[in-house]
């Protein structure tokens, strides 16, 4: 199967897995709400209905943050701890929910919510073990490429007087770290597909088999992985282009009583639409990888 065919089939499979897309979206929204609530409550308690409260609605103030940290010792540390816990919970939730999404590619008909959560329970523990293996892989990529090569580059360029070659030399470990993280993510995607596609596959066996599969079909596997992923990056770039203009409209003095709340509401809605679209592209990536892997194994995709 060619990369283009796999990508097209992945887009079709994403439409079939729309139940999973919505569940992933609302799970992400719920966790984001939990993460933002403590800082929201702190901001409201500290600023009330003051002018600073209105300014924080459309932008961030480092002066306010410094003042808040001085007057509320330990609050930022507690919030950082809560963010770390919720981040780990998000990784766990995404891993378990991925089982329901990927399993829906196997069915020729619409996947109901009951079917989705049944598959999440069916593959959940193996996907959690696969998540742990993946986290070890990410750690190794950082440890060997970012820290190891970064330290080597620092020692090598310590006595250099020209900053330009130093910059380019130190850029190499960062670029290689990014490549390493992308490759681990690619291997994890195909391992997730294999674990669900083959009922008896264990987490370690799926990871090792996916590693070999990715290495032997590197070029086509990267294309299947990268094209929908780049679509998600493009959507994020579109949001970053619109954000300054939205802030300008929200801060305009004329009609501020109506314009600012409306602009903020529209901005929030736009954020959620882009997040939903990025989840749909993420599921389309999994669908393309499912189709590509199934074709290499001589099995059907459920189309």
- DSSP H or E stretch at residue 246: helix 218-251
Mean pLDDT rounded to a whole number for the chain: 80
Backbone angles phi, psi at 160, to 5 degrees: -75, 140
Q: What is the residue extent of each domain of the chain?
A: 3-297
Q: pLDDT tens across 250-261, in order?
A: 555 555 555 566
Q: Reply yes or no on whether the pLDDT at 155 is more than 70.
A: yes
Tell me the C-alpha distance between 97 and 116, whole Å: 8
Q: What is the mean pLDDT of residues 135-164?
A: 84
Cα 113 to Cα 12, 18, 83, 97, 151: the distances in Å are: 19, 10, 29, 11, 49
Tell me the C-alpha distance between 134 and 111, whole Å: 27
Q: pLDDT tens across 193-248, in order?
A: 989 888 777 889 889 999 998 888 888 889 988 888 888 888 878 777 776 666 56
Q: Give the per-residue pLDDT at 53.
A: 56
Asked if 77 contacts 38 with a C-beta cutoff of 8 angstroms, the reply is no
User: Tell me, what DSSP letter sits at residue 144?
Assistant: I
Q: Give the per-residue pLDDT at 303.
A: 47
Q: Give the per-residue pLDDT at 188.
A: 92
Q: What is the mean pLDDT of residues 274-283?
A: 88
Tell me the C-alpha distance between 164 and 170, whole Å: 10
Residue keyed to tokens 């959940």: 124
Q: Reply yes or no on whether the pLDDT at 132 is more than 90.
A: yes
User: How large a percentage of the chain has pLDDT more than 90?
Assistant: 8
User: How large a percentage of the chain has pLDDT more than 70?
Assistant: 80
Q: pLDDT tens across 59-109, in order?
A: 565 666 676 667 767 777 777 788 888 888 888 888 899 888 888 887 766
Tokens in use for 44? 């409201």
Q: Reply yes or no on whether the pLDDT at 19 is more than 90.
A: no
Q: Reply yes or no on whether the pLDDT at 49 is more than 60.
A: no
């Amino acid at each position: 199967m060619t990369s283009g065919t796999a990508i097209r089939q992945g887009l079709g499979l994403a439409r079939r897995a729309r139940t999973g897309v919505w569940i992933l979206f609302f799970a992400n929204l719920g966790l984001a709400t939990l993460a933002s609530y403590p800082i929201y409550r702190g901001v409201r308690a500290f600023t009330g209905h003051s002018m600073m409260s209105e300014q924080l609605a459309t932008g961030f103030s480092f002066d306010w943050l410094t003042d808040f940290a001085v007057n509320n010792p330990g609050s930022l540390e507690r919030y950082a701890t809560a963010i770390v816990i919720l981040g780990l919970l998000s990784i766990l939730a995404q891993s378990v929910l991925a089982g329901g999404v990927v399993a829906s590619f196997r069915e020729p008909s619409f996947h109901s919510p009951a079917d989705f959560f049944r598959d999440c329970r069916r593959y959940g523990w193996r996907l959690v073990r696969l998540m742990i293996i993946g986290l070890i892989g990410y750690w190794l990529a950082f440890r060997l490429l970012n820290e190891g090569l970064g330290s080597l580059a620092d020692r090598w360029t310590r006595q250099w007087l020209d900053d330009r070659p130093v910059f380019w030399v130190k850029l190499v470990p960062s670029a290689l770290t990014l490549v390493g993280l992308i490759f681990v993510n690619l291997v994890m995607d195909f391992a997730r597909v294999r674990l669900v596609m083959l009922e008896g596959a264990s987490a370690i066996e799926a990871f090792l088999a996916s590693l070999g599969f990715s290495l032997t079909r590197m070029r086509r596997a990267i294309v299947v992985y990268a094209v929908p992923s780049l679509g998600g990056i493009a959507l994020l770039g579109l949001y970053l282009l619109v954000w300054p203009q939205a802030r300008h409209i929200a801060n305009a003095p004329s009609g501020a009583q109506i314009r600012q709340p409306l602009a903020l509401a529209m901005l929030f809605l736009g954020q959620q639409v882009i997040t939903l679209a990025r989840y749909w592209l993420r599921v389309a990536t999994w669908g393309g990888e499912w189709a590509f892997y199934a074709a290499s194994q001589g099995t059907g995709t459920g189309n």
